Amino acid sequence: MKAILTKEYGNADVLKLAEIDKPIIGDGEVLIQVISTSVNPMEWKVRNGEMKMMTGKTPPEILGSDFSGIVSKIGSSITGFKKGDEVYGMTDGLKGGAYAEYLKINEDMFAIKPGNLSFDEAASLPMVAQTAYQALVHKAQVKKGDHILINGCTGGVGSVAVQIAKALGCTVTGVCSTKNIEFAKSLGADHIIDYKKDDLLENENSYDSIFDTIGNHSFAEFKKTLKAGGVCVTTSPTIPAMLFGSVLNLFRSKKAKIIMVASSKQDLDAIRTMFQNAQIKPQIAHTFPIEEIKDAHNLSEKGRVVGKIVLKIQ
């Protein structure tokens, strides 16, 4: 099969297209023929060595987390899927595997693809949509009528978070740059804070929850804008927050929480329903053939991409 191999840490030039054997699945695994995948910052951070403390002396041989595709083979103990099912899901971002024509994976890490989406659209979703969904539903436990601040509302995660929050009946204030204001409005944001002109920390006691997808402000800065009992969820925790945050939350009314996304069939099923009900629309910025993987990584690393970068495998 065709795959993008990463034999060493470095810039995008370490990504090499090669032919390797298909994975061999076990009784409890499924073999997916990957049609499309996508580029997330996690992948190039692993590739360039930023995550070396967790990935070890060498990077995963095949990067890639998001995928959409077709079930090619199932293990003998698999009952929830059959050959030919169109599916989407996500691998462990630190282990990868999706930058290839075939991927083996456990059945609890993927779900049936939204029927109204293309494979490219479905491949743009699993990491960003599950991050947003798990942050809002599981961590912040938002409810209808809540006022939510989303910092970075036009990025890959933020753009989905706005739409999920609206689908859940929330009022959304989005933070973005001047050039992305109209895009933020098109996503459904009720109020916009232009961070180049306005101070997003001015509105004291305004928000039931904050979802910070950028990491450019600390919880200490954000907490004055939270209502009593409010929750701030971040995708970019500090080391002290990771070590002591849960203990500190026992002694404070305003909580700081961390989202570390993990693929869940149950969450993917819930997200599929939102897409099929047209409550969320995928936001694709660029599409590349897998042979142009280096260009896709370089574009992602530049930042400020509005929406997702998709890679076509097949």
Judge if 167 and 235 occupy the same domain.
yes
As a whole number, mean pLDDT of residues 17-35 equals 97
> Do 251 and 302 lie in a common domain?
no
CATH number at residue 196: 3.40.50.720
Answer yes or no: do 135 and 243 share one domain: yes
What is the span of the domain harbouring residue 157? 128-258
The structure tokens listed for 177 are 């740059």
Average pLDDT over residues 108-117: 96
Tens of pLDDT, residue by residue over 123-133, are 999 999 999 99
Q: State phi, psi for 70 to the nearest 5 degrees.
A: -125, 135
Residues 149, 251: one domain? yes
Domain contains 102: yes
Residue 249 and residue 286 in one domain: no
**292-308: average pLDDT:** 90
**Does residue 277 lie within any of the structural domains?**
no
Q: How many CB atoms lie within 10 A of CB 252?
A: 10
The CA-atom distances, in angstroms, between 94 and each of 44, 49, 167 are 11, 11, 31
**Region 291-306: what's the mean pLDDT?**
91
The residue among 139, 110, 142 whose CA lies nearest residue 127 is 110
Q: Indicate whether 273 belongs to any domain.
A: no
Contact 111, 88 (CB under 8 A): yes
In this structure, are 39 and 69 located in the same domain?
yes
Distance CA 19, CA 203 (A): 55
The structure's pTM equals 0.93
pLDDT at 252: 77
In this prediction, residue 212 carries a pLDDT of 97
- pLDDT score, position 253: 81
Task: Give the pLDDT score at 312.
Answer: 97
User: Do both 227 and 297 map to the same domain?
Assistant: no
Asked if 30 and 104 sit in the same domain, the reply is yes
CATH number assigned to the domain comprising residue 24: 3.90.180.10
In a shared domain, residues 174 and 87: no
Paired tokens of 167: 């689908």
The pLDDT mean for the chain works out to: 94
Residue 239 confidence (pLDDT): 66
Tell me: do 8 and 116 sit in the same domain. yes
Whether 263 is covered by a domain: the verdict is: no
Q: Answer yes or no: is 148 within a domain.
A: yes
CA within 13 Å, CB half, 33: 10
What is the pLDDT averaged over residues 83-100?
96
**Domain presence at residue 182:** yes
Asked if residue 97 and residue 6 are part of one domain, the reply reads yes
Q: Are residues 168 and 245 in the same domain?
A: yes
Nearest to 113 by CA among 100, 103, 124: 124
Domain count, the chain: 2
In a domain, 271, yes or no: no
Taking the C-alpha atoms of residue 159 and residue 140, their distance in angstroms, rounded to an integer, is 17
Cβ neighbours of residue 4 closer than 8 Å, sequence gap 6 or more = 15, 16, 17, 18, 62, 63, 64, 99, 100, 290, 293
The answer to whether residue 302 scores a pLDDT higher than 80 is yes
Q: Is residue 34 part of a domain?
A: yes
Residues 186-244 pLDDT 10s: 999 999 999 999 998 988 889 999 999 999 999 999 999 999 999 999 998 666 666 65
pLDDT of residue 156: 87
